[in-house]
């Protein structure tokens, strides 16, 4: 929700809780969760979830997060339904990282008062016939893009 500051136009309200959503909660959304927790975990409640049941967290993503001092090894994928059952969906902001997740988040806002932002983020798992280093570079690109957006959007 935007508030208007006199003479300054609309400004974003400070985020107190954020949910990162993707398709399976195995690569992009757990990376975003880990990054946001690393930089803002003491001041913002952070979670991630997928639209569908997914595989364990991707080892390439764990590796590239480890390169910048962020530990994501303990992440266990969960769906939005599971998260809702366990603790409810009380978030100021839902950031979606894939089209399917964005559509699901917009459905959720029929009953939730949360802002939804779509951050198109490429799926680094789509790189098959390349070297290991080229695959890691694709993951690093996703990681670095998420770091930039998260730092910019969540700073107080």
Q: Give Dmax over CA atoms of the chain in angstroms.
A: 55
Region 109-119 average pLDDT:
92
| The pLDDT value given to residue 156 | 63
- The alpha helices in the chain, defined as continuous H runs, are 28-40, 59-66, 80-87, 99-108, 132-154
Q: How far apart are CA 4 and CA 22, in angstroms?
A: 31
104 Cβ neighbours under 8 A, 6+ residues apart = 21, 51, 80, 96
| The pLDDT value given to residue 11 | 52
Q: For the domain bounded by 14-151, which CATH number is listed? A: 3.40.50.2300
List 20's β-bridge partners, or say none: 48, 95
Q: How far apart are CA 37 and CA 34, in angstroms?
A: 5
pLDDT in tens, 69-78: 999 999 999 9
pLDDT in tens, 60-69: 999 999 999 9
Please say whether the beta carbons of 98 and 22 come within 8 A. yes
List 115's β-bridge partners, or say none: 93
Please say whether the beta carbons of 135 and 60 come within 8 A. yes
Nearest to 60 by CA among 127, 136, 134, 142: 136
List 4's β-bridge partners, or say none: 10
Residue with tokens 């983020």: 121
Residue with tokens 């913002």: 44
Region 85-92 average pLDDT:
88
Q: How far apart are CA 118 and CA 53, in angstroms?
A: 21
> At residue 29, does pLDDT exceed 60?
yes
């Amino acid at each position: 929700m935007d508030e208007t500051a006199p003479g300054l136009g609309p400004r974003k309200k400070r985020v107190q809780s954020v949910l990162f959503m993707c398709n399976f909660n195995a690569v992009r959304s757990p990376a975003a969760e880990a990054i946001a927790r690393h930089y803002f975990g003491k001041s913002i409640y952070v979670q991630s979830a997928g639209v569908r049941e997914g595989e364990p967290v991707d080892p390439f993503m764990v590796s590239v997060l480890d390169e910048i001092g962020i530990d994501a090894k303990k992440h266990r994928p969960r769906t939005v339904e599971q998260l809702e059952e366990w603790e409810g969906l009380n978030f100021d902001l839902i950031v979606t990282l894939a089209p399917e997740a964005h559509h699901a988040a917009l459905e959720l806002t029929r009953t939730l008062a949360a802002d939804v932002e779509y951050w198109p983020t490429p799926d680094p798992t789509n790189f098959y016939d390349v070297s290991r280093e080229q695959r890691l570079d694709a993951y690093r690109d996703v990681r670095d893009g998420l770091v930039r957006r998260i730092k910019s959007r969540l700073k107080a």
